[in-house]
């Protein structure tokens, strides 16, 4: 049984990254971690959400998912982020959440957090890798320990083989193209395992 506390912090407009977060939760719990899923606050104006039926449906469906706070980051030994790409970069909702963590950062409370990230886009070259790498830039400033999946399990190749973090393409109907469930669960288990090593080494 692991003693790792994992926060899965996501942003999702129509549900893809929420599903990735749920699969990560399954994998982490199988590895024995204590897990919480939290979403970053939505910044888009209501008119934009209302104009997209899939977006509105997802917002309504996840209204009871708690919003992420600095306390969640402080609580966690490990954090998995899941966020869609926006023009090859991190969605502004997640970026704004990062930008409000200056207090924790200044106190050194983000140092040695074990982190990993996942992403999605409408096509394989729509910024998935760039988004994850951009997110990791913030983690380096935190002094966090980035745990990428690399090529540590054959399941990663069937999921598209992104060594930086699991990423998935989504068609026009919002359906995932690659089968990434196994890769997400492997990434979560790997993150928990490394976090357990770090935690034991700190004791």
Q: What's the pLDDT score for residue 203?
A: 61
Burial classification of residue 89, based on how many CB atoms lie within 10 Å of its CB (0-12 exposed, 13-18 middle, 19 or more buried)? middle
Place of tokens 């074990």: 114
Condensed to tens digits (0 to 9), the pLDDT of residues 68-117 reads 999 999 999 999 999 999 999 999 999 999 999 999 999 999 999 999 99
d(CA 72, CA 102) in angstroms, rounded, equals 14
Q: What are the structural domain ranges in the chain?
A: 5-202
Share of the chain above pLDDT 90, in %: 93
**CATH of the domain spanning 5-202:** 3.40.50.360
Q: What's the pLDDT score for residue 172?
A: 85
Condensed to tens digits (0 to 9), the pLDDT of residues 14-45 reads 999 999 999 999 999 999 999 999 999 999 99
Nearest to 5 by CA among 139, 199, 184: 199
Task: Say if strands 89-90 and 78-86 run parallel, antiparallel, or are unpaired.
Answer: antiparallel
Write the CB contacts of 100 (distance below 8 Å, at least 6 apart in sequence). 70
d(CA 65, CA 115) in angstroms, rounded, equals 21
Q: What's the pLDDT score for residue 1?
A: 57
Q: What's the pLDDT score for residue 38?
A: 98
């Amino acid at each position: 049984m692991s003693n790792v506390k994992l926060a899965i912090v996501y942003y999702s407009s129509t549900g893809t990254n929420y599903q990735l977060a749920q699969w990560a939760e399954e994998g982490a719990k199988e590895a024995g971690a204590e897990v919480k899923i939290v979403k970053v606050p939505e910044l888009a104006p209501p008119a934009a959400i209302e104009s997209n039926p899939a977006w509105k449906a997802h917002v309504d469906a996840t209204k009871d998912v708690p919003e992420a706070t600095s306390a969640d980051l402080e609580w966690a030994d490990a954090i998995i982020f899941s966020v869609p790409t926006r023009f090859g970069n991190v969605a502004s909702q997640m970026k704004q959440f990062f930008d409000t963590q200056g207090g924790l950062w200044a106190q050194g409370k983000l140092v040695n957090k074990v982190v990993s990230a996942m992403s999605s886009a409408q096509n394989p070259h729509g910024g998935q890798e760039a988004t994850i790498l951009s997110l990791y830039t913030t983690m380096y400033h935190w002094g966090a320990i980035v745990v990428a999946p690399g090529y540590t399990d054959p399941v990663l190749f069937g999921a598209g083989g992104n060594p930086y973090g699991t990423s998935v393409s989504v068609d026009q109907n919002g359906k995932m193209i690659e089968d990434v469930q196994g890769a997400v669960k492997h990434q979560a288990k790997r993150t928990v395992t490394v976090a357990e090593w770090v935690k034991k080494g700190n004791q």
